[in-house]
């Protein structure tokens, strides 16, 4: 079970990733319905996940909230990397296939962006999305991200090269 919530919304809460969450993260990152859209072809062992998360401060487990039950891990929202000191973060998120389509990513990303812009003082958040991943692009656009470009033949999906869209959101756009 995840540790205490860092922040809570209507249907989800964000929890810092603890060692007991590593198995959940490993299962998710190895699931083809998660790793293919993330363009992550690496097979993740538990040791890989532990190493990947060792010094990461902007990684949260997304949990669904229910009044009757303990928080259930459903996904992850994070900065895959940060450029500069709290200047620009590269957003990544995923939700386990059995929990997709419930709006968890949108609400979790809202909570995460509020934290990044309001508390941490980030200037810009970027994201990349495979052209074929229309649900993810829709999430970003619903949150105010602007499509900034197209990276041609940037990723591999089902053995074929695919373009990616790049998105960006500035602090003053979020904080307006």
Choosing among 1.10.3210.10, 3.40.1670.10, 3.40.630.30, 3.40.50.300, the CATH entry for 7-175 is 3.40.630.30
**pTM tops 0.85:** yes
The answer on pLDDT for 1 being more than 70 is: no
Cα 31 from chain centroid?
Answer: 15
Q: CA–CA distance from 7 to each of 26, 52, 58, 60, 143 (Å)?
A: 23, 23, 13, 10, 18
Q: What does the domain layout of the chain look like in residue ranges? A: 7-175
pLDDT, tens digit, for every residue of 121-159? 999 999 999 999 999 999 999 999 999 999 999 988 888
Provide mean pLDDT across the span 100-127: 95
The answer on pLDDT for 77 being more than 70 is: yes
The answer on pLDDT for 86 being more than 80 is: no
Q: Strand, coil or helix: what is 58? A: coil
The answer on pLDDT for 12 being more than 80 is: yes
Give the pLDDT confidence score for residue 148 in this predicted structure: 97
Tell me how far apart the terminal alpha carbons of the chain are, to the nearest angstrom.
Answer: 36
Give the contacts of 55 (CB within 8 A, at least 6 positions apart): none
Give the pLDDT confidence score for residue 168 in this predicted structure: 97
């Amino acid at each position: 079970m995840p540790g205490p919530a860092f922040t809570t919304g209507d249907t989800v809460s964000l929890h810092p990733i603890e060692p007991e969450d590593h198995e959940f993260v490993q299962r998710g990152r190895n699931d083809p319905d998660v790793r293919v859209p993330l363009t992550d072809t690496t097979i993740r062992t538990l040791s890989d996940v532990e190493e990947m998360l060792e010094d990461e401060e902007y990684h949260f487990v997304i949990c669904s909230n229910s009044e009757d039950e303990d928080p259930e891990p459903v996904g992850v929202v994070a900065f895959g990397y940060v450029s500069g000191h709290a200047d620009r973060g590269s957003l990544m998120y995923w939700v386990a296939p059995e929990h997709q389509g419930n709006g968890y990513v949108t609400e979790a990303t809202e909570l995460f962006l509020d934290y990044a812009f309001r508390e941490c003082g980030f200037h810009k958040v970027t994201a990349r999305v495979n052209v074929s991943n229309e649900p993810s692009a829709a999430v970003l656009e619903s949150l105010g991200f602007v499509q900034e470009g197209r990276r041609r033949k940037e990723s591999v999906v089902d053995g074929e090269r695919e373009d990616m869209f790049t998105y960006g959101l500035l602090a003053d756009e979020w904080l307006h």
